[in-house]
Amino acid sequence: MFAAEILHLGVDVGGTKVAAGLVNSSGEIVFRTRVPMNARGTASQGLAAVQLAIDQVRAARPDVTLDRVGITSPGPLDPDAGIVLNPPNVPCWSNYPLVREVQRVCGLRVVLDNDANAAGLAEFLWGAARGYRYVFYATLGTGIGTGIILDGHVFHGRTGAAAEGGHMTIDYRGPRCGCGKHGCIEVLASGPAIAKRARDKLVEAGARGARLLTLAGGAAENLTAEIVGASWREGDALAGGILGETWDLLAIWLGNVIDLLDPDVIVFGGGVAELASHGFDRIRATLPRWAINPRCGEIPLLLARYGADAGIPGAAALCFVPGASREP
Amino acid sequence: MFAAEILHLGVDVGGTKVAAGLVNSSGEIVFRTRVPMNARGTASQGLAAVQLAIDQVRAARPDVTLDRVGITSPGPLDPDAGIVLNPPNVPCWSNYPLVREVQRVCGLRVVLDNDANAAGLAEFLWGAARGYRYVFYATLGTGIGTGIILDGHVFHGRTGAAAEGGHMTIDYRGPRCGCGKHGCIEVLASGPAIAKRARDKLVEAGARGARLLTLAGGAAENLTAEIVGASWREGDALAGGILGETWDLLAIWLGNVIDLLDPDVIVFGGGVAELASHGFDRIRATLPRWAINPRCGEIPLLLARYGADAGIPGAAALCFVPGASREP
């Protein structure tokens, strides 16, 4: 006889789909499913998508007894009150009591948090941040999200809106972000920001931009961070310069984070993290100019265990740590 | 018969003097003394100044039984290890084990922390931050120091170097600070930064600068933040513009702090805090453009109980909260 494996249910809500799965105590996804999400529909349609995803997990694994579910959703949300506030990517829910509604239709206790906080918790439990007391997690992708894990708990601040580090300004006279602020790190160093920098450079690069342009199929508007990365891997100098500038901006931003929080570890996840990991040495070398912390160079910069696929493990992590996120 | 009042000893080390005093459980200073400090002398001369200050307190109040002392010193220091690292303002101590040395010569347990952290703790115990769970404290003066008090404890981070929020960059292409970074809030909004902005403006202000120049005794190099404040109080438009720009920069900076920490309260102390408090309404109005936190406007901005005189209460506060700062 073996003791039954502990499995928890994580549900990750996005703008176009709901992903749900079972995660074991080693952080492995042992079952997963996904259903479409019409984030621009009605609130109850959104709820029905969550319910369907949960029902599919239950139908596939009736042997697993579930008493709770961890749910992640794009912010802003209030994890304490269990309310999704007004996420730009999930407009169907505005001041929506998601925790109460999921409890009502699924009969499960619900723990809610935003995706970056939950992904940071998963890294603390099972990934690159395991064993570290003060964790700063950043997900680099279409946007830049962050999570702060202190002593094994998500740090939420007053209203659950803490750890929006992606919108910290390092250049208040700089370009405007969709968030409304100028020169926050998201508008300077996210995937789309890398692509935009590449497009801007192409204009003046002339022949030096040939490789980038070819990889983009001849059209600058097709450029993405992935294409810039591919061009850099081939040794293209223009792409290298674009990425180098991006890593320097990340170093300036991390200098601020370090001077305020002095974390034990910094972990990068998300779709652009692997590319950024090639810049870790440059970031480490640049950091001392942008952090007064005399030991900033000692802080490990690590690539996350869960890259762009942190949704389900993150959501399930909320169930594995009692009180890791606030429960209503 | 009355129960004996609980008194704790606080010692605040500065570049030119050591201030020491006894503080009661209401945060009132009931006895104080100060001795000169030659911060450019030898390490043992610096230690002797601390010892002399403590001896003077003991001689004046032999009725008070002391078992510990809280000491604050300019950073950087390592509160965990009890070591003063390499403070620019106290060069006599470099990697100096102050905690061990004071214990040796005075026979007291020693709790060490930097001045801004300790002042924040004093505000939490007895001042404007009383009763708040997540406190962000900033001291505005010659520099900008900050302290983070979470659940009644100073947040130190990995090495005790957390909460150096005064050196968070909001304008990486901006002027260079003495700390080596560009465009950190200290180089943009400290007392000397306000004075420098005034001097710069005077050059092009012509007749509009008459009042400021008169108050500075006719010499722009005499301008200080206090003089700019005095001129503004008289209704001078140029001074008002200079201060308004400063408050806007503080709002940008606080937006970053709020987006990362979402504190319950923000408290300003230090010599320039009273002047800055006249800008609180403008800062509150500006904040929503520089914080994505939808409830940033609710966070109280408060003037500290202890303004420029937070040294002794701050140091003593370290003794009032067991484990408030790390003890070796």
Residues of A in contact with B156 (CB under 8 A): 262
Would you say the CATH fold of A130-190+238-303 matches that of A7-120+310-320?
A: yes
The percent of residues above 90 in pLDDT, for chain B, comes to: 88
Q: What integer pLDDT is reported at residue A299 of this predicted model?
A: 97
Q: Is the pLDDT of residue B325 over 60?
A: no
Q: What integer pLDDT is reported at residue B245 of this predicted model?
A: 98
Residues of B in contact with A79 (CB under 8 A): none
Q: What integer pLDDT is reported at residue A327 of this predicted model?
A: 44
User: Averaged over A279-295, what is the pLDDT?
Assistant: 96
Measured CA to CA, the distance from residue A24 to residue A47 in angstroms comes to: 25
Residues of A in contact with B179 (CB under 8 A): 292
Q: What integer pLDDT is reported at residue B114 of this predicted model?
A: 93
Q: Is the pLDDT of residue A65 over 50?
A: yes
Q: What integer pLDDT is reported at residue A204 of this predicted model?
A: 87
Band of residue A88 on the pLDDT scale cut at 50, 70, 90 = confident
Q: Is the pLDDT of residue B137 over 90?
A: yes
Q: What integer pLDDT is reported at residue A324 of this predicted model?
A: 55
Q: What integer pLDDT is reported at residue B3 of this predicted model?
A: 58
A156-184 pLDDT, tens digit each? 999 999 999 999 999 999 999 999 999 99
List the single residue in B76, B169, B261 with the smallest CB-CB distance to A290.
B169
User: Averaged over A295-307, what is the pLDDT?
Assistant: 96
Measured between CA atoms, how close is A114 to chain B, in angstroms?
A: 14
Band of residue A328 on the pLDDT scale cut at 50, 70, 90 = very low
Are A32 and A131 a contacting pair, CB within 8 Å? no
Task: Judge: A295–B161 Cβ closer than 8 Å, yes or no.
Answer: yes
List the single residue in A163, A165, A292 with the smallest CB-CB distance to B164.
A292
Are B2 and B10 a contacting pair, CB within 8 Å? no
Measured CA to CA, the distance from residue A125 to residue B304 in angstroms comes to: 39
Residues of B in contact with A261 (CB under 8 A): 157, 162, 260
Q: Which CATH fold topology does A130-190+238-303 show?
A: Nucleotidyltransferase; domain 5 (3.30.420)
Closest CA to A87 of A10, A143, A139: A143
List the single residue in A157, A256, A295 with the smallest CB-CB distance to B134.
A157
Q: Is the pLDDT of residue A82 over 70?
A: yes
Q: Is the pLDDT of residue A195 over 50?
A: yes
Task: Judge: A292–B181 Cβ closer than 8 Å, yes or no.
Answer: yes
Q: Which of B2-6, B53-57, B150-154, B265-269 has the lowest mean pLDDT?
A: B2-6
- Range B7-120+310-320 has CATH code 3.30.420.40: yes
Indicate which of A158, A182, A254 best probes the interface with B, i.e. most B CBs within 10 Å of its own CB: A158
Task: Judge: A134–B157 Cβ closer than 8 Å, yes or no.
Answer: yes
Task: Judge: A167–B259 Cβ closer than 8 Å, yes or no.
Answer: yes
Measured CA to CA, the distance from residue B10 to residue B69 in angstroms comes to: 6
Cα-to-chain-centroid distance, residue A270: 6
Q: What one-character DSSP code corresponds to residue B322?
A: T
Cα-to-chain-centroid distance, residue A223: 22
User: Averaged over A92-113, what is the pLDDT?
Assistant: 96
| One-letter-per-residue 3-state SS of chain A | CCCCCCEEEEEEECCCEEEEEEEECCCCEEEEEEEECCCCCCHHHHHHHHHHHHHHHHHHCCCCCCCEEEEEECCCEECCCCEECCCCCCCCCCCECHHHHHHHHHCCEEEEEEHHHHHHHHHHHHCCCCCCCEEEEEEECCCEEEEEEECCEECCCCCCCCCCHHHCECECCCCECCCCCECEHHHHHCHHHHHHHHHHHHHHHHHHHHHHHHHCCCCHHHCCHHHHHHHHHCCCHHHHHHHHHHHHHHHHHHHHHHHHHCCCEEEEECCCHHHHHCCHHHHHHHHHHCCCCCCHHHCCEEECCCCCCCHHHHHHHHHHCCCCCCCC
Closest CA to B7 of B50, B55, B61: B61
Band of residue B96 on the pLDDT scale cut at 50, 70, 90 = very high
The percent of residues above 90 in pLDDT, for chain A, comes to: 88
Per-domain residue ranges of chain A: 7-120+310-320, 130-190+238-303
Question: Which value does ipTM take for this structure?
Answer: 0.95
Closest CA to A177 of A198, A192, A163: A192
Measured CA to CA, the distance from residue A245 to residue A263 in angstroms comes to: 24
Residues of B in contact with A301 (CB under 8 A): none
User: Averaged over A300-320, what is the pLDDT?
Assistant: 96
Mean per-residue pLDDT over chain B, rounded: 94
Please give the structure tokens belonging to residue A179. Answer: 């968030």
Q: Is the pLDDT of residue B275 over 90?
A: yes
Q: Which of A143-152, B88-97, B251-260 has the lowest mean pLDDT?
A: B88-97
Which CATH code is given to the segment(s) B131-190+238-303? 3.30.420.40
Band of residue B12 on the pLDDT scale cut at 50, 70, 90 = very high
List the single residue in B165, B171, B261 with the smallest CB-CB distance to A173.
B171
Distances (CA, A) of B170 to A192, A245, A255, B175: 22, 17, 11, 11
Sign of dihedral through CA atoms A144, A260, B150, B322?
positive
Closest CA to A194 of B246, B250, A202: A202
> Which residue of chain A comes nearest to B257, CA vs CA?
A168
Q: Is the pLDDT of residue A84 over 80?
A: yes
Closest CA to A180 of B285, B110, B288: B288
H or E segment and range at residue B183: none
B115-132 pLDDT, tens digit each? 999 999 999 999 999 999
- Determine phi and psi for B86, rounding to 5 degrees: -150, 65
Distances (CA, A) of A244 to A111, A145, A278, A297: 39, 21, 10, 18
> Which residue of chain A comes nearest to B86, CA vs CA?
A294
DSSP string for residues in B117-138: HHHHHHHHHHSTTTT-SEEEEE
Cα-to-chain-centroid distance, residue B199: 25
User: Averaged over A177-203, what is the pLDDT?
Assistant: 95
Task: Judge: A299–B158 Cβ closer than 8 Å, yes or no.
Answer: yes
